[in-house]
Structure 1
């Protein structure tokens, strides 16, 4: 069975602007608790020693109680006075808050290094069950001063008909800037050029953010050339503020249709906040024992200082395996129509004796309502009989009334129309079930102005049904291995590590062009 993919719908930042205040205010505790209750978990940064031997060596204190499964350092995020010397403790690890115990006793923490009050978060570590604690779970005091940058991720099972365009299946390894450290340049651009694997509708993009307070503008270009991500026609623009540290998904206000085989681009303008972290570009590259399978191709990822003149990220970064961590999500194309279908004669019926049928036109208003309902069910992959990876263009709606008494079983109909129809793919009819439980699609044939189709059981669909005529065509070419589409670097439930936790020693400083 293929692994289930999850897509990140949204993310919510729980920090203030860096570390949590210590001790945590009741309001902040309640906010984190509410987020954990609603979404199941919250990802937070922490400074974590691996064992008491390490903590004794650095701060001359035990931080673990192996007996009580608890952890408390007594340190503050930032500068600390350790035996007369200033030592800075930031974040070196990510853990996940999965619960809490307001009454967890302060006496349960390491002897000689207790917090002042009771209460602890229940934490799931990411080092596996063999690391320690209770199968990898342990308690962290509410007063732990190195907790920072909490993020809650709202995820949902990814649709099977959704395509992921990406060059970073392993995720970010580093942050990059075009400029030398200390530059006052607040704006940089990063982009990816993709080749559409089929006729897709680009509905959202995703990338990584190093800290709160930055601003982003995302643009989608269609029909691009090979040498610049802004060489095509601008098709959609959306601004995004309030993005959280880590992985973010941004929905496009105007989705963009791309044709199979054409190039399109996602261009992100990143504006760093005043005094903020000056490396806004998330990059994947090959790093031994971490991302050694990373690879890249020239012409895929781009960076720029002005949004006009772009440089290949491989050249800018100086690494043949460097890729921009920026994704686009392609949904299937489901299109309504304004066409009013006009039945033009008697309906031919092939059914048990006594079954009769008649077809009639529906109003434009009713047609719109029915099509909206059908498209909503198509997007949710709930129309039985149409695969999730198909593009569907609706051709109109008509009403079919079937008089069949108590007779059930299969039946077929031929309905003539004065409205001419054309199909790029295969004709189908989408029929609501009589009990209101959903829609079922049946293949049809269109010839000489008439549409022929059959149903599996008259009792399941009639007496009167508003039937949608659909043009169903292929939309999903197989995803190329190692290419720009397919796969799923989409967030999983519980959320992974914060990207802020990438060691800053890995930052690659740029050069002025």
Structure 2
């Protein structure tokens, strides 16, 4: 259904340029005074927008026209605003995006009205944040040099930076637009920068409207609007009427005219090209519905899909007014950014201020800025209680908080941590970010001049020792500006011990015996004294298992009495994060703690000086990762993702063949059983299963009555009778050697069948299985066997 709206509220002749004070594209040097007359200054981020391809078509249900009821713009959203007489279209569009998003969230109504003046003023006149992290960042505009900040213009990049810094939005009544002229001499009180904000920006997406138009439409439906920039040419604007409904239309064929920011609030794929004047008519049907900021004149208009001056980026802002966050730890107070190419591993270090007794903070979210790159894979790690603030890894890694993901569009992302982290007052913590491409932004300093006169001073703090990048085996101070990594926290009050607390003191993974994950946890007295308390293990797929807390060993860890809570660490699930909590017999539950064995192993590689342990941990991570790939278990989160050396890929088949021997099975068959092969079961220890054809279809009891079966460790000569079982697997007879330790993977096992007619025996080994399997035409099995072989070698 085509969208039609009555747009004839003009009450008289209006001169367009009285409402739009803007300019041609800004010169790269920005040194000419005539470059500052614009309502919108084109940003580098407005063009060449990265194209995001999810690989999945999700837009089959997009309507041909949206919205289907024009009354929503009267009943649901505020009336259009009026930027007259200043070049502040960019701020009006940005505040409109905030208002529309919160309305669509259902948290505010059409009466919401955010201050465009507050955003415009503090974009040009920066104030240090309440935590002091942005000390040294300066933005000071000198209105006395001929062109005020109100006339210079701005862009969505300016808006996104300031809003991400939690500067606004504030209510119009707090900083009314009517006071704009007075700010040129007297400015605004610093308190209006942060203290009156009504919502927090969570995300800002840059979507390529020419390549990802359906994504733009989907985001308009979700967030209410998208912000765009085009070059307005008055000659392309015409007023038209048809079917008794009035429409403003716009179409141009080149980037000529005045930079202008507007909001896209709808579309009509069938909007007829005949609705445009014959002298200025696009080739195709279809148009965007645009919300303007010129009061009642041209309040809404239709812009052809074919419009040439519409730049690439559609900006989508996502806000929350009730996220429960109280503090924004940040180092980047700059208004322009660029992506670093020095490293894919970097960190910001922050300091928690002093608190009253019993008060502390929880780190809940981290903000990452990737404004020039789409589809970025990231891992966020948190280290608390740093011993050395210049080393972000010198504290306690909060493995339960480690969070991995992928972005979609270029932009700014608030990422909720897998688990929140407690932060002690007056302590240092680090947010460490690893990315799969050089994508993360840092703040960039510039000075804007008119001739020799300083117009806008935009400095950023450099080399302050808080933004660090990894290079040549250690973290170094980033010299060019601070990374755009923010940490969002909430204020908390420490509860009494009777609140059923679980306090993690440490964790480990056993490497020399069976692979086992261990959590060393201290508990409140309420839990420790409860004989019926059960430990709950919650796995990523939602399944739960339970064991009595009393079944676990009580020991000491760091001079603290703890329970050593253990669970089996299956190689294919080393990267799986298991949440551990305790449920008392009265049904009340403690807080939870989650960690993955891979976290511990990666930490061990980075910090342990024991080369043997490092080698075993590396081999185990590789084994786990190739088990994930072979068994198709969470392959987007491989256990060895932090490793750089590919030892498995470097190992050749010939090397394995030189170090292993074939199984010796020539004498293993007898009248009833014929050996046909083996398999390995990848558990925390390795099970080896030997399969026989049951030629006479004997029952298991008949086989065991007829034959005495022994399994002997050839190296030691000892029977392993307690560690093997005989069973029927369908029609096959099976001998299962259970829980072979990593260091025993190279062991030969002698299998003996004895009866009154004599003995039959053979010799098998996990390595003989590996030897035969690597010669098969199965690349995933090959890699898994190579990884298992290297694991056995490292553990021997």
TM bucket, shorter chain: 0.3 to 0.5
Tell me: higher relative CO, structure 1 or 2? Use CA pairs within 8 A at least 6 residues apart. Answer: 1
Q: Normalised by the size of structure 2, how large is the TM-score?
A: 0.32
Q: Normalised by the size of structure 1, how large is the TM-score?
A: 0.47
Higher strand share: 1
Larger radius of gyration: 2
